[in-house]
Amino acid sequence: MKIGILTSGGDCPGLNAVIRGAVLKGIAVHGQEFVGFRDGWRGVVEGDIIEIPRTLVRGIAKQGGTILGTSRTNPFENGGGPDVIKAHMDRLGIDAIIAIGGEGTLAAAKRLTDVGLKIVGVPKTIDNDLDATDYTFGFDTAVEIATEAIDRLRTTGESHHRCMIAEVMGRHVGWIALHSGMASGAHAILIPEQRVSIDQIAAWVKLAHDRGRAPLVVVAEGFSTDTMEQAHSERGLDTFGRPRLGGIGERLAPELEALTGIETRATVLGHIQRGGVPTAFDRVLATRLGMAAIDSVVEGRWGTMVSLNGTDIVHVGFDAALGRLKTVPQDRYDEARVLFG
Ligand code: F6P
């Protein structure tokens, strides 16, 4: 059996560990052959592949990025569609596809399995916002990177008696902000799920300052206060038609400075959070998911993705993960909020 693997959407530390896990198990246990589609669905639509012998995956579990490349290509556009993809698969002798990606990738995979293509999924996102899996690989690494960076911001903030704002990723949900903020002892954590007024944020900042601390604010890129809602919509859409985010930290800094009288600086961590070496936790999770995806293929579980349930890897239908985001629940935010003062 020949299996094609693709990585699609924004990259994520651990993608290579998934590929390695799948390839090593597939070759060792089932004698399968592997190819990789270059740059996600673009490679599928164009039939652009590379062979993946065992030697190609040697030592890659610790490498960031993806050896296959990625893109945000939609397989139903750009000359694609099920017939084109099926024709490429037949010509190249590919029996099944393992699609590693986020909600967009899994939604496309579902549409393609609905018309008979043999695809299984592996969920991926640093944002940890995919439903039907307890954690996604890449999240732990992103939190680790953000926490380290925030710890560094704290020491320079303390030297200068400044308020420091760290803007982390999180377009729709605040998991990275919540975890890195709790880990680094932030005095305010701001996430898209929770509307907080600028006056409340200023009050938290002043409280920390009055206690002799350098106030530390961790904000997810998708956060907005009531007064900033307008500013968000004015930023328009990015090239993928998504609301253009980022810059919330830069917008908060002058407002907080004006309200508190405390000199304030903002730092955007950005794509630093998606790059580099995955943590051991993410490598293990990603490897296990890759291996379990081989079981899905062997068992013909088309239209399902592998998922983490507690400490077990299970198989769930694409439907379970689509259409709703896993947001930060109220009790998790309330728990963190107690620590603000
Ligand atoms: O989905 C992961 C994510 O990192 C989001 O947190 C962020 O908003 C987005 O990707 C950035 O995407 P791009 O790399 O396309 O700018």
Q: Which residues are catalytic?
A: 127
- Residue 226's pLDDT is 66
For residue 10, report the distance from its CA to the centre of ligand 1, in Å: 6
Phi/psi-derived region of residue 81, left when phi > 0, alpha when psi is between -120 and 50, beta in every other case: left
Residue position matching structure tokens 């307008």: 230
Q: How do the domains of the chain map onto residue ranges?
A: 2-137+278-322, 139-275
pLDDT in tens, 162-218: 999 999 999 999 999 999 999 999 999 999 999 999 999 999 999 999 999 999 999
pLDDT in tens, 62-119: 999 999 999 999 999 989 999 999 999 999 999 999 999 999 999 999 999 999 999 9
Say if CB 146 and CB 166 are below 8 A apart.
yes
More confidently predicted of 172 and 244: 172
- Highest-scoring range by mean pLDDT, 102-106, 223-227, 286-290, 319-323: 286-290
Q: Kindly provide the ipTM of the predicted complex, given to two decimals.
A: 0.94
- H or E stretch including 171? none
Angle value at C-alpha 225, between 230 and 12, nearest 5 degrees? 95
Q: Which two tokens stand for residue 265?
A: 């600086």
Nearest CA to ligand 1 atom 10: 10
Angle value at C-alpha 324, between 165 and 222, nearest 5 degrees? 15
Q: Distances from the Cα of 169 to the Cαs of 55, 94, 208, in angstroms?
A: 34, 36, 24
- Residue 233's pLDDT is 59
- H or E stretch including 113? helix 103-114
Ligand 1 nearest atom to the CA of residue 102, by list position: 1
Q: Which are the contacts of 134, defined by CB distance < 8 A and separation ≥ 6?
A: 307, 308, 309, 310
pTM for this model (two decimals): 0.94
Question: Is 126 annotated to bind ligand?
Answer: yes
Q: Which two tokens stand for residue 268?
A: 């955007």
Question: To which CATH superfamily is domain 139-275 assigned?
Answer: Phosphofructokinase domain (3.40.50.460)
Q: Which two tokens stand for residue 244?
A: 């253009």
Q: Distances from the Cα of 300 to the Cαs of 29, 103, 251, 296, in angstroms?
A: 16, 22, 50, 6
pLDDT band at 229 (very low <50, low <70, confident <90, very high): low
pLDDT in tens, 185-200: 999 999 999 999 999 9
Position 244 pLDDT exceeds 60:
yes
CA 265 to chain CA mean position, Å: 26
Please name the amino acid found at residue 185: G
Decide whether any atom of ligand 1 lies within 6 Å of the 125 Cβ.
yes
Question: Is 171 annotated to bind ligand?
Answer: yes
Decide whether any atom of ligand 1 lies within 6 Å of the 140 Cβ.
no
For residue 104, report the distance from its CA to the centre of ligand 1, in Å: 12
- CATH 3.40.50.450 corresponds to the domain 2-137+278-322: yes
Position 228 pLDDT exceeds 70:
no
Provide the mean pLDDT of the chain.
95
- Residue 295's pLDDT is 98
- H or E stretch including 269? none
pLDDT in tens, 116-136: 999 999 999 999 999 999 999
Decide whether any atom of ligand 1 lies within 6 Å of the 126 Cβ.
yes
Ligand 1 nearest atom to the CA of residue 221, by list position: 8
